[in-house]
Amino acid sequence: MPESQNIEYKESWRDEYIKWICGFANAQGGKIFVGVDDKGRVVGLQNAKKLMEDIPNKVRDALGLLVDVNLLSVDSKEYIEISISPSTYPVNYKGEYHYRTGSTKQLLQGASLTQFLLNKTGTKWDAVPVDGVSFRDLDKESFDIFRREAKKSGRMTAQDLSMTDEELLDSLNLVVDGKLTRAAVLLFHRKPEKWFGGAYVKIGFFGDGPDLQYQDEIYGSLFIQADRVVELIYLKYFKARISYDGLIRVERYPIPKDAMREAVYNALMHSNYSSGVPIQIRIHENEVLISNDCIFPANWTAETLMQRHRSEQYNPKIANAFFRAGYVEAWGRGIENMCKLCKDYGVKTEYTVHPEDVMLAFFAKQETAATQSATQSTTQSATQSTQKYLPIEIKLMHYLVANPRATQGQIAKYLGMNLNTTKYYLNKLGKLEVPAIKHEGTTRKGSWMVLIDLENL
């Protein structure tokens, strides 16, 4: 039998092997066979009977554990079996915490150690209270976003949503002994990066090379980030290919929006915010890479994510709030649905899992590359060529490309016009045979999208 998660072989005994006993106790338990080589062949021990007395005492004194030590023999060769049960509390050896994973022993440090200690005490990272922040410090817009989305999802009743902010936080289990938890601060504080340095999203456009061409950083509560990141990607970083089915205008983006939304929400929910590393979204000509620090359950792999799996959250308080807002499902089927959606769309998905981070790659088809300078379809270009634009209209559209969230008042100030004249041009450009611009969202919080290729004007 080869070495495994629960089996370890040692040809002879050394006191340092107490570290391996510590690792088994902190994991799932297991057995160490002393007097057996790495291939599982019994080589025997000369001092087996003495070790039967010494090992239990040394383990008790070093770890505070009682282990079963059994004397076994094969072909007159004696060897020892040490049976270790999993411990319900964290076990350390001389101040070090060891952990058995696969067929190796690892020394836990940093975020991995913190998470291990929290798990052993039954506490999740995002449930820990935060000192120095009160209910008054939280952000009204973040609560407005949550209530708006929760109402649409139907996962909270009208009575639930009519509660005060404090009552709402308590109903979401985001308060412990009168203190806000880490989850509450991340979800509803305007500047969570004050406590958690990596609590924001970086988006960078790299085109078809390794050099960054332009970027954005999105700050705010997780609800603000969830509300803005995907929209910014589709407004500024992606260009839709335009075609017409008769008189119906068809826009096709390189990656289906629902799939991108699922990917971003997953990153926001499951990030290890104690690492200080932000979520990073790299956009290339034909691929998009989304990476975030995350500590996965033991023995999870990229294959685990791509298959049906149980829903197990690193930040369950954050995940529950996202579920109540209707952003995600609660049964671990979000990734499965996302991958199917991409497959039907012709986009390949691929996960890469490292010990403390995960990266999701979307590979778009060559003909639908995600690029800021992508040309629109021949159908639209031909129609567009018959449309003439005034210099002031071209100037207006260039301004909207650079400032997609500009208000009508800001546009009027830039153009040096009164508000009514500005509205006239905005309305005109949006109602051409092939619309040159469109506006998504509310008047105060929406965004502008320029639908034509300005370089060809």
pLDDT in tens, 57-89: 999 999 999 999 999 999 999 999 999 999 988
Residue 123 has a pLDDT of 80
Closest CA to 320 of 155, 199, 163: 155
Q: Give mean pLDDT, residues 39-45.
A: 92
Tens of pLDDT, residues 385-422: 557 788 888 889 989 988 888 888 899 888 888 888 88
Residue 309 has a pLDDT of 52
Residue 181 banded pLDDT, cuts 50, 70, 90: very high
Residue 165 has pLDDT above 80, yes or no: yes
Tens of pLDDT, residues 302-335: 566 666 555 567 899 999 999 999 998 866 677 8
Pairing of strands 175-176, 248-252: unpaired
Instruction: Please count the CA atoms within 13 angstroms of the CA of 420 that sit on its side-chain side.
Output: 0
Backbone angles phi, psi at 330, to 5 degrees: -110, 10
Share of the chain above pLDDT 90, in %: 54
Packing angle between helix 222-232 and helix 140-153, nearest 10 degrees?
A: 70
